Structure 1
């Protein structure tokens, strides 16, 4: 009887899991998975939104953490692995994309941080020269992996050597979450204050 009961429970669990859809958030037509695995840890989608520049949708962005967070300090200070996923919604030259990113990083770093990160900023800037144009549908993943560093992938392929400093990953997140974000309408969406 005991074996029969456990097999019914197992069948019920299997049946439920077989019909459970893979959840994803629709961000202006771009699917952002609810979960991600980074550095062997399960992460959840904290929030996601769209970067808009002069009325054009440039990319969808999702931030993955160990749990959902709603303040800049909590997101930057979240322990363990992190990820941001960026999905291009239009074609952009590597030069234009790079200058936008580098400009936003520099606006949100103080003088000491800039000198501390000079080597990583150089590598990060050079990366945009090597990747060339970004096409609609391209996916950039940026993972913070403790013990490895910041790992950047374009369509699943590494595009720069891992960047070791955890504070540099925070500097990247400040592109959208800093005091001078690249898109002032995206920041509150990423903090869960508004829906994108």
Structure 2
């Protein structure tokens, strides 16, 4: 007997509220707002000579990372990337970094902005935007409810058919003289095919 694995997924009464139904769209729109806010804050904080701290340059680095992470879905929709090559592997890693992983990353990126306390208010506002975006991505993980995976085994009865083979030995009983006579006849007709017609 052989066993086949059967896989199935049960959805545990997923609540489909209006917010959860559209959480992907909401998180993408909030990501664009956060992107604009982080870049605007970075430019204003760097231009302000009185409050020159690391926050402006840190926001530039966060802004560059946000551009890649928030706009990668546009590249994913265009499907211009195959499976081979270094760029495609990096693209696959960026696509893997979604939902709760991206949410935890955004919350972690917001922490250094709060270390300057309230001296740079735009940095704090950018930090709150990042935390909100991170929480939206964590909620996006549960968009379709909790999924339980179960595994079953089904026993399939198999039988091997009996195959009988018969081997026959074939032998010819021609003598060497007859064989050479036949060969010589075919050689003569190949050399001059018109010779037999003239006689």
Shorter-chain TM-score: which interval? under 0.3
TM-score by length of 1: 0.27
Question: Which has more radius of gyration?
Answer: 2
Highest RCO, 1 vs 2 (Cα 8 Å, sep ≥ 6): 2
Report the TM-score, using the length of structure 2 for normalisation: 0.26
